[in-house]
Structure 1
Amino acid sequence: MHLDKDGAIRMDCSSECAMAGLLALRDKFDLAFANDPDYDRHGIVTPAGLMNPNHYLAVAINYLFQHRPQWGKDVAVGKTLVFFCDDRPWWSMTWAVSW
């Protein structure tokens, strides 16, 4: 595991610094995936580099809503946002987004 940009060891697969080892191999594979230990973050490496995980999720969600007519109008995607202060959760909120 490579050090993150602040010099800390962090399992952040959305960080180019932390993913430097896999990025160095990007020409050997068409696509490579990585995730953090609790599987709530992911990294996707292509020959062009590290994909932005939020861009990937937005495209995937849009695709699913466009190609799953059996889901109906009441299906939504949930998102939770948590703010931390001094390494402790300060507040969180969850909302649903539908297409």
Structure 2
Amino acid sequence: MALSGVGFAAVSLASGFAGLVPLMFIAGLAVAPTATVAASVLGNSVPAGARTEAFTWFASANALGGAAGYLLAGSLAELLSARPVLLTAAALLLLGAPISLALPRKS
């Protein structure tokens, strides 16, 4: 989460394709591990008979959140510019990292 936040903050400073692509790669490095861990937590926290439904809700929420994010970010970037949108995304990710560490853990 924090890696993506730092990556998005760096992307906000990029100018041109050559600077943007490697920084987006860095920002995206945390996406697959985050999805993997989230799926693992979900699978371990739901009874076996309810996993299909739980994963369906999980995937639906992820898809809806992604679509809403594209819509909101695109609209704001068009209105303001890309930099404040990227910095807001970075700030949310960086704020979310310590919050996620403070959540109770299942033993």
Give TM-score, length-normalised by structure 1.
0.26
Give the structure with the larger strand fraction.
1
Q: Highest relative contact order (Cα 8 Å, sep 6+), 1 or 2?
A: 2
- The structure where helix makes up a greater share of residues is 2
